[in-house]
Chains A and B, each alone.
Chain A
Amino acid sequence: MAILSVRDLRAYYRTEAYGISRTVHAVDGVSFDLHPDEIYGVAGESSCGKSTLIKVISGNVKPPLKAYSGSVEYDNGLQKVDMLTISPEEMRRNIRWKEISYVMQGSMSVLNPVRKIIKTFEDIVESHRGIQDKKVFREQVEAHINRLGLPTDVLNAYPHQLSGGMRQRVAIALATMFQPRLIIADEPTTALDVVVQRGVLQMLKEIQAESKNTVLLVTHDMAVHANVADRVMIMYAGRIVEEAPTKTIFKSPLHPYTKHLISSLPMIGVRTTKTSLRGSPPNLANPPSGCRFHPRCPLAMEVCRTEIPEMVDVESRHRVACHLVKGGAL
C-alpha cells in the first residue's frame, strides 16, 4: 500500500513572450510509489527536474509550471487526496505541515530573520492548528526540540545567531512538529560542511526510525544516498532512468548513466583515474529524441535515437529504462 503514488506525471513550464512560446519539459512521464516507513532517495544533476517533481507532489504548482497529465495521489489513511486538484485552502488547512512537510535547502529563508525561533514555531502552529495556551505550547515545543537533541536556548535566539547546521536542524524540528506522515527534504545538507551534514542527516534518520513515517530525500550527492536512503531513484533530463533498493543501485547498477554516476565518485583510499561523461546535461526546452541520455551514452545504439526506452522490471523492486536492458545485452 503506497502513501503517495505518482502515475505518468508530465509537468511543463510554458512561457510566452513576444509571441515566442517555449516549453520546458521538466518532468516527463514519471511514475513511482512511496511506501510507509522508508527513506526514498531522488538523485540527479542540476536541471534534471527533481525540484519540479517536488513542487508538483507537494501541491505547489503555480504558472508557468503546469501539470499536463498524469496523477499524484496522496493516501492519508482514510481517503485518497488528488494533489493536482486540491484547493490551496484545503491544502493549507489539512495537508501542509500536518500530513506533508518540507525541509528546504536554505533554512535561512524558512526562518523569519527578524523573529526569534520560538515565534516562528508559534506562527506556523497558530495558522495550522491554533494555540490555546502559550505557556503549555512553549513546554510542548521545548519537549519536542529536546527530544531531537537541540538545546532549549535556540528558541530564544534569532536565526542569524545560529550556525548553518543548527538552523537546518531547527528547520527539521519545525517540519516534524505535527508528526507528518511524509517529510520532503530538498537538498537539506547541500550548503553544509561534512561534519554538520552528518549530524543533520543523523537526526533526520532518527526521527524516521522513531516515528516510522516516510522521508523523500532529494540530493545530487550519491554518497549521501548510500548512507541514508533505503531506495533510490535516479532522474535524468526529466525522466526516471533507474530505481532500486540502495544496495542494488550501488552494487549492480544497470543504466549506463547510473553506472557512470557511481563509478565516477572519488573515494579516500582509491586513486584510479575517474572520467567524466562527454557533453553536458540537455536543455529541457529542446530535449534529445528517443532516450534522452543517448548523445552522452558510451553504449548508444541506433534504436536509442528514435525510441523512448520503456521502464522494465528487472527484479522485484528494481526497474530501469534502457534499450540495452530490454534487449538483454546487460
Chain B
Amino acid sequence: MSVDGNLFDVQNVSVVFQIGGLLGGVKLVAVNDVSFTLSREKAEIFTIAGESGSGKTTLSRLLLGDLHPTSGKVFFEGRDLSEFRSRAELKSFIKKVQPVFQNPFETFNPLRRVEAYLFDTAINFGVANNVKEAAMVVDHALQQVGLSLAEVSKRYPHELSGGQIQRISIARALIPRPRVILADEPVSMVDASLRMEIVNLFRTLRDEEKVSVIYITHDLATAYYISDRIAIMLRGNIVEAGPVEEVLERPMHPYSQLLKESVPEPEPEEKDAWVKHISLGVTEVNEYNQVGCKFAGRCPHVMDVCRQADPPNISVGPRTVKCYLYTEQAREAAGHPEMEEARK
C-alpha cells in the first residue's frame, strides 16, 4: 500500500549484502528497516546525514532505483520501483528523479566538452527534438544555476573551476524538469569560498522551481543551513528524524548528541570543551554486527535491553527517535536529563 499524495514513500526498507564466499560468508545489513516520505505538495530539502559507512549511499542507490531492497518497498508517486519493467517506465521515472554526484570532475569525461552532456540529456529525455530546441533548454537550465550557454560553450571540464562545474552538473540534472534532485555529498569536493553558492542554489531551486532536494551529507552545518527535515543514520538505521531545527538544536538520540557535539564550531572561545575525551569504535564491522542498538558500545546511557533487540521508533512531538531511553517505561522511570527535555 502506498499513499498517492507522496513523491517518495519508503516503507520498511532493508538491504542485506552477502560478503564472502558461498559457505562462510557474512551478512551485512547496510540499510535496516528504514521508512520515510517526501511530500508531493510542498517542495522541501530533506537531508540524510551520517558518517562514512552509515548506509547513506546505499539508501541513495535505492531511491534512484539502481538497487532493489532485500525487503520493504520504495514507492515513487504511488508506484513500486521494483515493478518497473519496460524501458519507457524506467525512463519516465529517471526523468523525474535526477542525481548530482560528489566529484564533478568525475561526472564529466575530461575529453568531451561539457555542453555535450547537456545536449545529450535534453535530447535523450525528449525535452527537445532538435539541436536548436536543445540549445534553448540547455541555456535555460544554465541560467537557473547562474551561468549561460555562451560562458560554457566549447569548454572542457579542466577549464572550469570546481564551483562552476558542480553548478553545470546541477544544470544537467535540471534539464528533464525533475521533481526531485538527489545530491550525494555535492559540496565536499568544492572549495570553501565557492561552497555556499552551491548550497544556496538548492535553496533557490526549492523556493522558485519547486524542486525537492534529497541532500546526502556528513556535514551537519550545511545541512542545518538549508534543509527542512533531517534523518540521522548510524550503521544502516535512521536513529533520529524530524524538523532540522528540532533535531540539530536539541538532539535526543545519544548518537545525534555526540555527532552534534563533535562538529567543530568556528568559535575559538570554547575550544577546550570540544577536545574533551570521547571513545571511538575500533572497527566499523563490529558495530554493524552488534545486536540491538548499533550505538550500544559507545553510548553513555546504555542499558541491558539495548544489547538485546532493535530499539523501537518512538514519536516525540514532530520527530522520531530510535532509542530505548524514550519508551513509555523509561519515561515513567525518568531520571535522564534528556527525558526531562523530551517531556517539555
Q: Which residues of A contact B (CB under 8 A)?
A: 45-46, 151, 161-166, 193-199, 201-202, 205, 220-224, 226-228, 246-247, 249-251, 260-262, 264-271, 273-277, 280-281, 296
Contact = CB atoms under 8 A, between A and B. Distances in A.
Q: Rank and list the top 6 A-B pairs by shortest CB-CB distance, nearest first.
A: A280-B161, A276-B197, A193-B51, A223-B264, A266-B221, A266-B225
A165 B276 CA distance: 17
Contacts of B163: 276, 280
A247 B267 CA distance: 8
Interface string B244-261: 000011000000001110
A226 B196 contact: no
B264 A280 contact: no
B1 interface: no
A193 B218 contact: yes
Query: B161, B199, B274: which has the most chain A beta carbons within 10 Å?
Result: B274
Contacts of A275: 196-197, 200
B195 A228 contact: no
Interface residues on B, range: 35 or more
Contact of B262 (A197, A276, A281): A197
Nearest to A272: B225
Contacts of A220: 191-192
Contacts of B265: 223, 226-227, 267-268
B275 A198 contact: yes
Contact of B266 (A162, A205, A267): A267
Given A221-B264, A226-B264, A280-B164, A273 B194 contact: no
A246 B248 CA distance: 27
Given A196-B280, A273-B200, A268 B266 contact: no
Contacts of B55: none
Nearest to A163: B283
B271 interface: yes
A194 B222 CA distance: 14
Given A45-B191, A261-B193, A268-B263, A198 B221 contact: no
A195 B221 contact: no
B284 interface: yes
Contacts of A222: 192, 266
Interface of B: 51-52, 161-164, 191-197, 199-200, 218, 220-222, 224-225, 248-249, 258-260, 262-271, 274-278, 280-284
9 contacts: A46-B162, A193-B52, A205-B275, A226-B266, A227-B264, A228-B275, A262-B266, A271-B224, A277-B194
A123 B192 CA distance: 39
B222 A266 contact: yes
Nearest to A154: B282
Nearest to A220: B192
Contacts of B194: 276-277, 280
A223 B266 CA distance: 4
Given A227-B275, A268-B221, 15 more contacts: A193-B52, A194-B263, A195-B258, A195-B280, A196-B280, A202-B278, A220-B192, A222-B192, A224-B264, A250-B268, A261-B192, A268-B260, A269-B224, A280-B191, A280-B194
Nearest to B51: A193
Contacts, number: 148
B274 A198 contact: yes
A262 B268 CA distance: 12
B283 A161 contact: yes
B268 A46 contact: no
A198 B196 contact: no
Given A195-B51, A195-B259, A250-B266, A45 B193 contact: yes
Given A193-B218, A227-B264, A268 B161 contact: no
Nearest to B284: A163
Contact of A266 (B161, B224, B275, B280): B224
B275 A281 contact: no
Given A264-B192, A266-B224, A226 B278 contact: no
Given A166-B282, A194-B220, A195-B258, A226 B200 contact: no
A236 to B, nearest CB: 9
B262 A194 contact: yes
Contacts of A197: 262, 264
Contacts of A201: 275
A119 B316 CA distance: 52
B268 A276 contact: no
Contacts of B259: 194-195
Given A224-B264, A226-B271, A227-B274, A194 B51 contact: yes
A122 to B, nearest CB: 22
A46 B161 CA distance: 11
Contacts of B196: 264, 266, 274-276
A226 B267 contact: yes
B280 A268 contact: no
A137 to B, nearest CB: 24
Nearest to B52: A193
Nearest to B275: A202
Contacts of B260: 268
B195 A276 contact: yes
Contacts of B283: 161-163, 166
Nearest to B194: A276
Contacts of B270: 227
Contacts of B282: 151, 162-163, 166
A194 B268 CA distance: 17
Contacts of A162: 282-283
B200 A276 contact: yes
Contacts of B162: 46, 280
